Each structure stands twice: as C-alpha cells, then as structure tokens.
Amino acid sequence: MADLLLDIAGIDAAYGRTAVLHQVTLSVEAGEIVTLIGANGAGKSSTLAVIAGLLTPTAGTVRFLGAEITGVPAHDLVARGLALVPEGRRIFARLSVVENLRLGAFQRHDTAEIAQDLDRLLTLFPILAERRHQAGGTLSGGEQQMLAIARALMSRPRLLLMDEPSMGVAPLITERIFATIKQLNREGLAILLVEQNATAALGLAHRGYVLETGRVTLKGQAHLLLDDPRVQAAYLGA
C-alpha cells in the first residue's frame, strides 16, 4: 500500500438535488496512468471535481498520500501535490503564456527552481516557447491545451488529473499531447485521465474504470478492457 497515491471509496455526490455519483470507488498507484471512460454525463468530470476539491461529496472518503482529503479546498490540495488540467482549459486569456505558467507555481517559493521548471516546460512544449509573450487567449485550441497542462505541471504535482485533453483539439496536436502524457508518466508522474477517445485512453493507461450513470460498472487492466466486448460495443465503435 506504500505506493498508493489516491484512494476514493464509496463516493456519492450531487449538484443540488441531482445525484451524479453513486458509491464510486477507485484508486491510483504511484507511476500509473489510470483512465475513466464512459458516455457524456456518466460522471467522469464530477469524479475529478470531487478529487480536486471542487465538489464536496455527500458520502464516502477521498484519501491522497495516506491522508484523508475529503472536502479539503482545491488550493490546499495543489500544495499537497494534486493538480487538475480542467475541461475547457480555463487559461487566463489576457495574460501571456509565461504569466499563465508562473501562476501555476503560485504556492511555491523556490524561485530558482520555479525558473528551472519554466525553462524545462518551455522545452517540453516548444510552441509555448515561441509564443511565450503572446496572450493566452490568442493561442489555438491545441496550444491552449498544452499551456493548461504545462501550467498544472508548474505546481510539481505527484498526481495529475486530466479532464478531456483532446476535446476540441486537432488530431495531430492530440497525438502530441498523448505522447507528452506518456513521456510524463515515464518520468514518474501518476495520471488520472478522463478522455473522450476511449481507444487512445485505454491504449495509454495501465488500468481503467468504466462509469455509467455515476456508477463504476467495469474495472481492470486497460488492455483487458480494450478487448472486452461490452466496452468495444459501447465505447470503441465495435
């Protein structure tokens, strides 16, 4: 259990009177890519919102690095090593690329290492280096997605939550983003990935969970889920 980063158990959640999650249980271990797949409205983004401290569950527990974080505010979780790349990117449109990146390190005080991380991420995403002084809102959708990922990485997370990184992104840029996810994982970063492209997500991941109407209905090794006839029929176009 020493390698267990995230453990959520029996999570129920709702928006007002509308229940969206029912007894959701999942885990992420160090060094893993775990993916959540399911139809629109299945509860994938709500699950990430609970983990990230943006939605307080009505039942269940969330534990990160061995400590219970259920209901802990999002900004405190960033300091503990949990970062979210949100659906829709949500960059600061009027700020430059570099200013957006520096905001990702807003809770850090190690000035020299922040500068090193900034340089490293501009090397990892060369297009951001080219656009470093450009306003974030003027970037293409794919460039904004890269900026959102890089901004989250500036917090030096132990676990990166990614919500639909390929949404609204051109196929070529999507391939680059998936390659970057794989590279980050090879470097030791654990990732919990919500992705509309189930085939690509299961191809990247070590393990996966299938959500249907707010409930986990299938789970297992990603390569086994790829071969599961139920998953193929529902999500892979088979």
pLDDT in tens, 27-73: 999 999 999 999 988 999 999 999 999 999 999 999 999 999 998 99
Q: Is the pLDDT of residue 75 over 50?
A: yes
Question: How many CB atoms lie under 10 A from the CB of residue 72?
Answer: 17
Give the chain's mean pLDDT.
Answer: 92
| pLDDT tens digit sequence for 141-163 | 889 999 999 999 999 999 999 99
Q: Are strands 4-15 and 18-29 parallel, antiparallel or unpaired?
A: antiparallel
Question: To which residue do tokens 């802990």 refer?
Answer: 72
Report whether 232 contacts 238 (CB < 8 A).
Answer: yes
Q: What is the CA radius of gyration of the chain?
A: 17
Measured between alpha carbons, how far is residue 138 from residues 98, 104, 135, 147 in Å? Answer: 14, 19, 6, 12
pTM: 0.93
User: What's residue 109's pLDDT?
Assistant: 86
Query: Domain residues of the chain, as ranges?
Result: 4-235
DSSP state, 12? Answer: E
Closest CA to 165 of 66, 76, 56, 36: 36
% of the chain exceeding 90 in pLDDT = 77
**So what CATH class is 4-235?**
alpha beta
What token pair was written down for 237? 């176009």
pLDDT bracket for residue 1 (50, 70, 90): very low
